[in-house]
């Protein structure tokens, strides 16, 4: 049970406003991910939810309880830190028990909780060690265990996996997700790793410069980005952005790559977007298209019209499950993603198909979504 | 043997540093006739303990002829409360200045930093007057103890501040989320991590206060004086013959506590000298 | 009000923190800064054995700078301070460099070089007074070696007694300087030295061109600390020479003590204390500013 509402949260340091009115409402027991580049305000926002920093304005509600002004200990939250923040002088056992002692939980109950948590996280054998005797992954487990033991209404995670090596990170990622399903408790998770955001979040808030750029499900964030920032920030390799100019052709509305010499290539605009783009005729706008939407011909789903173009292969990066093709369309570099079995050679030409149905368009001036 | 000159120089330096200690030791075990007849460097013919006994309990210092021992005890009575209190307050202050920062914390830091620099002469007259008004002028306890606590605070606070700056703030944040308050965080999280800096600070304060002369000579009267002042009185006492052996024994007695601490915990003493005194 | 304060700064614990720190802040403001102002005021009054509020302007300063004893104190501080700072830093640096050559018994040497710092200045003064006594000490030792006309009676000579203070002070704190320089040397990245070695520089050249320039902040710290020790030196001189013969080894600390607490001329004593503070500021502050500039 738990529902978090942030209403118009502002935060300033002196004259510097770092959060400009944050509004978020989560559903019951949702996993909310705050993501953005460093300095976007995501950690400040988490600290404000925790009560470790004081908001300059706005309201924080957890299950309809107003948290403003409450000290962290009265907010019914638990937090996992990037540095783990395990108390170095205490054993694992005491690290976990500390919060329970502070809350004057009866001793028998404390022991019971400790054992449950230890079993859940498989750290029973570590209980009498001190943090410095643990590996990074073990410390991470203890830090999570310490948070779970509290049985809070809300878990806060501050980039908890960023100090782990790649393999462990993937493991812990699914572990935290599993915990979320098991515990049925709201979680707020700060990260700058978009894969973590996509895989873990029920709800993702993409932040930049103290503003929420988009709040939505992973699918909507990825497939239906609200603006150019979100489109470029989520996804790896990043979405391709091309300057294009819509123009009327006999076949209907088409795109010509801006600055192309001679005839250049024409990209068709799918019918559903024609209405929105008609007003931009002759104006330079930004086309956004993900690498996986420039791919092998023949990958079209039923009823989808692909537009194929023959391009030069400049560089190949096989990643295993697929191969990235670096190429150029009318002078603008482009990354495509093809099946690894596709035979390609650097310097040769290849035919790539554009899934224009999945393309998005932005205003080049302010980055807002046009279609 | 290219390195021979290095060892030679170092050994010469070591002899220079050891020379005063050596002549103090040998002189303190000699009789006065021996001092007159033998070179200062000569070993005593027999280890005569008269000078030590006389220095400890018989020598005339000011109006007393009980030797150095009452003043030696005075110094302990001074040092123990002054070290404990100034270290404890310094620990709390350092904790606040690093983990409970507020607007103006930097100003307070510089305020205290300057407090470690200025010459104490500048505060002697007002302090003497204030002690007079409080009717504690000339007393060891609380008069001199108070002076040493007040003017030690800047040092102890900076020591702890510089140490606690290195303790991740996430620990305090985690403890707050875990429901611990100001004192509980200090007691359960910070203090268990503080053993090295407590050692450094306590040893620093012990050495500084024990060895201090200025405050002792200004703020205490005859029988309340710390051992450093008593040594100076003893050496200065005009008698027909200068009892060099007694002087040296008394000086050694006054030096023993800090020397013992230095030999047992020199590591912390050096850290105090080079680290805390420097940073900031 | 209390509530809004707590809101602003983040909780009851923050208020407790403020309350816990305030005694120290108040004590510092009162016992240091207010006392300094108080001493300023005393220096402007006709205070003798007891403080008085009779304002006499700069008359005490006039008296102070009309006193040959004060001028002697100042020039002694200049001689003593200059020599002491230079020599103790030089010896300290030399010892640090020697110890930095991967020496066997480094710990033992360090213990020997540094133990004088653990000893009271008064004890140091007493020991050196004995060692410098012409009838028993260094002069007697050298004479007993056959140099029967060897003269070394500085401690009894008003023109040279101040140099004995330099000797004793250098003995007491050179080890301290050594520790500071050694810490500085150990703080230099070994990679820089390795790079210089690969570039073909010899040991001497590495020290001159690579290591010593990197020690600039350490020199700065050593200077500030030793200059501070020089200005504050008191117990050592009292025990070694008592400020004499005559007042030939008086320094401002002794002058201030004698005038304030023995001769009952509190106003002049206060004035001398303020000049001491000014000297400290003049010596220390430019270096602090210089250091701050360099860091920017």
Residue B262 confidence (pLDDT) above 60: yes
> b/e for B48-79, b at 16 or more Cβ within 10 A?
bebbbebbbeebebeebeebbbbbbebbebbb
Residue B78 resides in a domain: yes
Backbone dihedral angles phi then psi of residue B177, each to the nearest 5 degrees: -65, -35
B277 pLDDT above the threshold of 70? no
Nearest to B255 among C23, C120, C183 (CB): C120
Q: Measured between CB atoms, which of A52, A54, A72 is closest to C7?
A: A54
Q: Which B residues 110-169 touch A at CB under 8 Å?
A: 168
Q: How confident is the model at residue C7 (pLDDT cuts 50, 70, 90)?
A: very low
CA B165 – CA A266 distance, rounded (Å): 61
pLDDT at A1: 56
Contacts of B174 (CB under 8 A, 6+ apart): A79, A81, A85, A86, A87, A146
Q: pLDDT per residue over C97-138, tens digit each?
A: 999 888 888 899 999 999 999 999 999 999 999 999 888 888
C contact test, residue of B41, B72, B93, B126 with most C CBs within 10 A: B126
Residue C3 pLDDT grade (very low, low, confident, very high; cuts 50, 70, 90): very low
Task: Quick: pLDDT tens for C173-230.
Answer: 999 999 999 999 988 888 888 888 888 777 788 888 888 888 888 898 899 889 999 9
Structure token digits, residue B140: 């060891």
Among the residue ranges A125-134, A225-234, B1-10, the one predicted with the least confidence is: B1-10
A361 in helix, strand or coil?
A: strand
List of chain B residues whose C-beta atoms are within 8 Å of the C-beta of residue C292: none
Q: What does pLDDT average to over chain A?
A: 89
pLDDT of residue B168: 92
- Asked if the Cβ–Cβ distance from B173 to A71 is below 8 Å, we say no
Q: Identify the CA nearest to C106 among candidates B118, B270, A363, A98.
A: B270
As a whole number of angstroms, the distance between CA A244 and CA A361 comes to 9
Confidence of residue B2 (pLDDT cuts 50, 70, 90): confident
Task: Compare CB distances from B251 to C12, C123, C256 and report the shortest one's residue.
Answer: C123
Mean pLDDT of A35-46: 92
Section C264-282 average pLDDT: 92
Contact (CB<8Å) B153/C28: yes
Instruction: Write down the pLDDT at residue B234.
Output: 87
Residue B203, classified by CB atoms within 10 Å of its CB into exposed (0-12), middle (13-18) or buried (19+), is buried
**Contact in structure between A218 and A194 (CB atoms under 8 Å):** no
Per the listing, tokens 């190429």 go with A327
Name the residue with higher pLDDT: A265 or C166. Answer: C166
Residue given tokens 């309809």 in the structure block: A64
Task: Give yes or no for a contact between C218 and C181, defined as CB atoms under 8 angstroms apart.
Answer: yes
Six token digits for residue B272 = 């105090």
Establish if B62 belongs to a structural domain. no
Contact between chains at A87 and B174 (C-beta distance less than 8 A): yes
Give the strand pairing for A57-62 and A211-216.
unpaired
**C27 vs B241, which has greater pLDDT?**
C27
Question: Above 80 in pLDDT, residue A267?
Answer: yes
What is the C-alpha to C-alpha distance for residues B269 and B206, in angstroms, rounded to an integer?
10
By three-state DSSP, how is residue A7 classified? strand
Average the pLDDT over each of B78-82, C13-17, C165-169, C232-236 and give the range with the smallest value. Answer: C13-17
Find the mean pLDDT for residues A253-261: 80
User: Degrees (nearest 5) of the Cα angle C197, C202, C203?
Assistant: 95
User: Are residues B139 and B218 in contact, defined by beta-carbon separation less than 8 angstroms?
Assistant: no
Taking contacts as CB-CB distances below 8 angstroms, the residues of chain A near C7 are: 54, 68-69
Q: What is the pLDDT of residue C4?
A: 38
- Which residue of chain B is at minimal alpha-carbon distance from C252? B121
Distance from CA of B181 to the nearest CA of C (A): 6
Average pLDDT of the residues in B158-183: 91
| Closest C-alpha among A248, A236, A216, A249 to residue A369 | A216
Q: Which domain holds residue B73?
A: 69-277
Mean pLDDT of B262-269: 88
Residue B125 has pLDDT above 50, yes or no: yes
pLDDT band at residue A298, thresholds of 50, 70 and 90?
confident
pLDDT band at B1; cut points 50, 70, 90: low
Residue B47 lies in a domain: no
Distance from CA of B119 to the nearest CA of C (A): 6
pLDDT band at C9 (very low <50, low <70, confident <90, very high): very low
A332-369 per-position pLDDT tens digit: 899 999 988 888 888 888 888 888 888 999 998 888 99
Q: Two tokens at C243?
A: 């400020």
The Cα B257–Cα B78 span in angstroms is 13
**pTM for the model:** 0.85
Please report the DSSP string for B184-249 in residue order: HIIIIIIGGG-HHHHHHHHHHHHHHHHH--HHHHHHB-GGG--HHHHHHHHHH---SS--HHHHHH
> What is the band of C246 on the pLDDT scale with cuts at 50, 70, 90?
confident
- Show which subunits contact B, needing at least 3 CB pairs below 8 angstroms: A, C
Percentage of residues of chain B with pLDDT beyond 70: 96
pLDDT at B278 over 70: no
- For chain B, give percent helix, strand, coil, nearest 5: 75, 0, 25
Q: What is the pLDDT of residue B137?
A: 86
Contact call for residues C49 and C262 (beta carbons, < 8 A):
no
Q: How many CB atoms lie within 10 A of CB B106?
A: 10
Q: Does C12 contact A69 at a Cβ distance shorter than 8 Å?
A: no
Give C13's contacts in chain A (Cβ within 8 Å): 71
CA dist A270 and A289 (Å) reads 13
**Res. B274 pLDDT band, cuts 50 70 90:** confident
For residue B8, is it within any domain? Answer: no
Q: How many Å apart are CA A238 and CA B248, to the nearest integer?
A: 81
Count residue pairs from A and C with Cβ separation < 8 A: 17
d(CA C3, CA C71): 60
Inform me whether the C-beta atom of residue C147 falls under 8 Å from chain B C-beta atoms. Answer: no
Round to whole Å and give the CA distance between A28 and A23: 17
The residues, ordered by sequence, that sit 6+ positions from C208 with a Cβ below 8 Å of its Cβ are none
- Please confirm whether the linkage preceding A303 is cis (ω < 30° from 0): no
Domain containing B220 — which CATH number? Answer: 1.10.3720.10
Determine the pLDDT at residue A214: 95
* Domains of chain C, residue spans: 67-295
Q: Which CA distances in Å does B117 have to B122, B174, B239, C283, C288?
A: 11, 37, 39, 11, 12
Chains that touch C (3 or more CB pairs under 8 A): A, B
* pLDDT at residue C8 tops 50: no
Architecture field, domain C67-295: Orthogonal Bundle (1.10)
Q: Which of C15, C18, C24 should we substitute to test contact with B (largest number of B Cβ atoms within 10 Å)?
A: C24
Q: Is A347 left (phi over 0), alpha (psi -120 to 50) or beta?
A: left
Report d(CA A120, CA A129) in Å as an integer. Answer: 18
pLDDT score for A86: 92
- Give which of B176, B178, B181, B191 to mutate to test A binding, by max A Cβ within 10 Å: B178
pLDDT higher than 50, residue B280:
no
Q: If you search the block for the tokens 């602003």, which residue do you land on?
A: C8
Average pLDDT, chain B: 89
Residue of A nearest to C7 (CA): A69
Model pLDDT, residue C293: 62
Task: Return the number of CB contacts < 8 Å for B and C.
Answer: 256
What percent of chain A has a predicted confidence (pLDDT) above 70? 97
B93 inside domain: yes
Partners of residue C9 in chain A, C-beta under 8 Å: 54
* A33, pLDDT greater than 80: yes
What local confidence, expressed as pLDDT, does residue B240 receive? 56
DSSP one-letter string for A83-132: T----TTS-HHHHHHHHHHHTT--HHHHHHHHHHHHHHHT-GGGTTS-GG
Distance (Å, whole) CA C177 – CA B13: 14
Does B231 contact C274 at a Cβ distance shorter than 8 Å?
no
pLDDT for C111: 92
In a domain, B9, yes or no: no
Of C275, C249, C276, C279, residue with least CA distance to C73? C249
* Confidence band of C1 (pLDDT split at 50, 70, 90): very low
Model confidence at A149: pLDDT above 50 = yes
Beta bridge partners of A327: A334
Alpha-carbon distance of A224 to A362, in angstroms, equals: 12
The total of structural domains in chain B comes to 1
* Residue B279 pLDDT level (bands cut at 50, 70, 90): very low
Min Cα distance A306 → chain B (Å) is 53
State the CB neighbour count (10 A cutoff) for residue A333: 12
Determine the 3-state secondary structure of A310 from DSSP.
strand
Contact (CB, 8 A) for C81 and B215? no
C13 touches chain A (CB under 8 A): yes
Asked if the Cβ–Cβ distance from C7 to A71 is below 8 Å, we say no
Minimum Cα–Cα distance from C11: chain A residue: A71
């Amino acid at each position: 049970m738990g529902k978090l509402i942030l209403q118009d949260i502002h935060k300033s340091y002196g004259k510097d406003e770092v959060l400009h009115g944050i509004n978020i409402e989560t559903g019951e027991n949702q996993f909310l991910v705050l993501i953005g580049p460093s300095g976007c305000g995501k950690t400040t926002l988490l600290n404000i939810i925790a009560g470790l920093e004081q908001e300059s304005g706005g309201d924080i509600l957890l299950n309809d309880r107003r948290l403003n002004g409450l000290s962290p200990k009265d907010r019914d939250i638990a937090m996992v830190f990037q540095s783990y923040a395990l108390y170095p002088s205490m054993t694992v056992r005491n690290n976990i028990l500390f919060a329970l002692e502070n809350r004057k939980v009866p001793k028998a109950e404390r022991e019971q909780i400790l054992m449950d948590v230890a079993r859940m996280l498989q750290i029973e054998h570590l209980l009498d060690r001190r943090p410095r005797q643990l590996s990074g992954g073990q410390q991470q487990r203890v830090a999570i265990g310490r948070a779970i033991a509290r049985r809070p209404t809300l878990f806060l995670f501050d980039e908890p996996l960023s100090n782990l090596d790649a393999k462990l990170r993937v493991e812990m990622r699914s572990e935290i997700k599993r915990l979320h399903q098991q515990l049925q408790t709201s979680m707020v998770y700060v990260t700058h790793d978009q894969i973590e955001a996509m895989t873990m979040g029920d709800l993702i808030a993409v932040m930049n410069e103290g503003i929420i750029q988009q709040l939505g499900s992973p699918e909507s964030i990825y497939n239906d980005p609200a603006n150019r920032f979100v489109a470029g920030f989520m996804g790896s390799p990043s979405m391709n952005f091309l300057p294009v100019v819509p123009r009327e052709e006999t076949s209907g509305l088409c795109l010509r790559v801006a600055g192309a010499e001679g005839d250049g290539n024409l990209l068709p605009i799918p019918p559903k977007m024609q209405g929105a783009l008609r007003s931009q005729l002759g104006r330079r706008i930004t086309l956004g298209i993900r690498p996986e939407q420039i791919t092998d011909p023949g990958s079209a789903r039923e009823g989808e019209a692909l537009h194929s173009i023959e391009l030069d292969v400049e560089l190949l990066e096989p990643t295993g499950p697929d191969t990235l093709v670096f190429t150029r369309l009318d002078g603008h570099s482009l990354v495509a993603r093809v099946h690894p079995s596709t035979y390609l050679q650097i310097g040769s030409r290849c035919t790539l198909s554009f899934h224009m149905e999945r393309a998005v368009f932005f205003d080049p001036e302010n980055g807002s979504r046009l279609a | 043997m290219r390195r021979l000159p290095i060892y030679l120089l170092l050994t010469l330096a070591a002899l220079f540093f050891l020379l005063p200690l050596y002549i103090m030791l040998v002189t303190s075990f000699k009789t006065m006739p021996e001092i007159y007849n033998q070179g200062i460097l000569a070993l005593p013919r027999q280890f005569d303990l008269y000078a030590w006994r006389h220095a400890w309990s018989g020598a005339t210092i000011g109006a007393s002829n009980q030797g150095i021992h009452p003043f030696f005890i005075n110094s302990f009575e001074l040092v123990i409360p002054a070290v404990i209190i100034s270290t404890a307050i310094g620990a709390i202050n350092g904790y606040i200045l690093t983990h409970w920062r507020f607007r103006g914390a930097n100003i307070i830091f510089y305020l205290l930093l300057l407090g470690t620099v200025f010459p104490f002469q500048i505060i002697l007259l007002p302090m003497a007057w204030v002690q007079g008004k409080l009717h504690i002028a000339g007393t060891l306890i609380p008069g001199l103890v108070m002076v040493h606590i007040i003017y030690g605070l800047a040092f102890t606070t900076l020591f702890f501040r510089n140490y606690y700056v290195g303790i991740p703030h996430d620990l305090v944040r985690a403890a707050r989320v875990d429901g611990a308050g100001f004192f509980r965080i200090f007691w359960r999280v910070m203090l268990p991590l503080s053993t090295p800096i407590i050692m450094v600070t306590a040893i620093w304060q012990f050495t500084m206060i024990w060895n201090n002369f200025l405050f002792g000579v200004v703020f205490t009267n005859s029988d309340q004086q710390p051992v450093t002042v008593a040594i100076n009185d003893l050496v200065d006492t005009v008698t027909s013959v200068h009892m060099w052996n007694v002087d040296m024994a008394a000086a050694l007695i006054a030096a023993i506590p800090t020397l013992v601490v230095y030999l047992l915990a020199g590591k912390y003493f050096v850290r105090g000298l080079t680290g805390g005194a420097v940073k900031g | 009000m209390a509530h809004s304060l707590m809101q602003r700064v983040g909780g009851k614990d923050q208020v407790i923190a403020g309350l816990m720190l305030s005694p120290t802040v108040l004590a510092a403001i009162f016992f240091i800064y207010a006392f300094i102002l108080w001493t300023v005021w005393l220096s402007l009054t006709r205070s003798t054995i007891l403080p008085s509020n009779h304002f006499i302007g700069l008359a005490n300063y006039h008296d102070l700078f009309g006193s040959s004893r004060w001028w002697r104190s100042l020039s002694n501080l200049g001689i003593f301070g200059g020599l002491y700072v230079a020599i103790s830093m030089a010896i300290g640096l030399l010892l640090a460099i020697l110890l930095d050559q991967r020496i066997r018994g480094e710990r033992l040497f360090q213990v020997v070089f540094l133990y004088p710092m653990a000893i009271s200045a008064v004890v140091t003064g007493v020991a050196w007074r004995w060692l410098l006594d012409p009838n028993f000490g260094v002069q007697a030792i050298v004479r007993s070696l056959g140099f029967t006309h060897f003269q070394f009676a500085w401690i009894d000579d008003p023109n040279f007694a101040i140099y004995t203070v330099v000797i004793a002070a250098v003995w007491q704190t050179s080890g301290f300087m050594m520790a500071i320089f050694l810490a500085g040397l150990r703080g230099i990245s070994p990679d820089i030295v390795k790079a210089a070695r690969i570039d073909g520089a010899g040991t001497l050249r590495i020290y001159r061109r690579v290591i010593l320039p990197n020690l600039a902040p350490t020199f700065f710290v050593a200077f500030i600390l030793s200059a501070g020790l020089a200005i504050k030196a008191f117990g050592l001189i009292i025990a070694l020479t008592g400020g004499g013969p005559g007042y030939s080894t008086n320094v401002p600390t002794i002058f201030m003590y004698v005038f304030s607490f023995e001769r009952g001329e509190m106003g002049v004593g206060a004035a001398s204390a303020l000049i001491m503070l000014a000297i400290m500021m003049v010596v220390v502050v430019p270096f602090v500013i210089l250091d701050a500039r360099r860091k920017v």
